Amino acid sequence: MIVQFYNVSKTYPNGVKALNDVSFKLDQGEFVFLMGPSGAGKSTVIKLMLREEIPTRGQIFIESRSVVRMQKKEIPFFRRSMGVVFQDFKLLENKTVSENIAFAMRVVGAGNQEIRQRVPQVIKMVGLDGKNDRFPSQLSGGEQQRVGIARAIVNRPLILIADEPTGNLDIDTSMGIMELLYDINRAGTTVIMATHARELVKDSYKRVITLDQGRIISDNEAAIGDAI
């Protein structure tokens, strides 16, 4: 198991109960959708996985390490095993495609030679060959999200977390992003994608964990048709 949640509850200081007794396990190499309406608890699950928050009750293990008992000084190194893709891209506007991706490598101490080799490979992988020197403002929304994905996978994470990655994109562009995420998963990366877009999940034949009001209401191994 690469991710394990055991009876996890989370209540924020303002009294909002975001999760209530949530348990699930993810195997290495799985592709899993986290579904549910706004406020269902999807974002809290992601924050707990990244150790941005800690549960009020319960245990979380990632790669057999206790996230709850982790010391603060361990957190930056722990997060290197995960890549994150955001809905609003979060690209550095004053940096080119290559520079945005290279920045993620510099943060973890990669050397210049490794960066020069790896960045063009990842740009080609996400379908942006020839756009290395473009700035975010010169790219479409779909292209910007591909840069975001490239940045998230450039350090070869074991887990890729995609938080509503298609939320700002039209359906055709979204389907292209989904195919890219499926390719990354087929290469061995565990992918966890939070979304409320049923049209992307329907007939995906991927596992779907559905949350509502902080509880898991269904966990389908292969979502098809009205299974979601």
Torsion on CA atoms 132, 133, 135, 141, rounded to nearest 10: -30
CATH entry, 1-81+198-228, from 3.40.50.300, 3.30.56.10, 3.40.50.11710, 3.40.640.10: 3.40.50.300
Q: What is the mean pLDDT of residues 207-221?
A: 94
Candidate from 15-19, 135-139, 140-144, 199-203 with smallest mean pLDDT: 199-203
Look at residue 218 and tell me whether its pLDDT is greater than 80. yes
Partners of residue 4 on adjacent β-strands:
25, 61
> pLDDT band at 224, cuts 50/70/90?
very low
Output b/e per residue, 60-92; b: 16+ Cβ within 10 A: bbbeeeebbebeeeeeeebbeebbbbbbebebe
pLDDT digits (tens, 9 = 90+) for 122-134: 999 999 999 999 9
> pLDDT band at 160, cuts 50/70/90?
very high
Domain boundaries, the chain: 1-81+198-228
pLDDT digits (tens, 9 = 90+) for 93-113: 999 999 999 999 999 999 999
Strand-pair category, 207-212 with 65-66: unpaired
pLDDT digits (tens, 9 = 90+) for 39-97: 999 999 999 999 999 999 999 999 999 999 999 999 999 999 999 999 899 999 999 99
Output the average pLDDT for the chain: 93
Strand-pair category, 31-35 with 57-62: unpaired
Residue 228 is predicted with a pLDDT of: 43
Residue 222 is predicted with a pLDDT of: 52
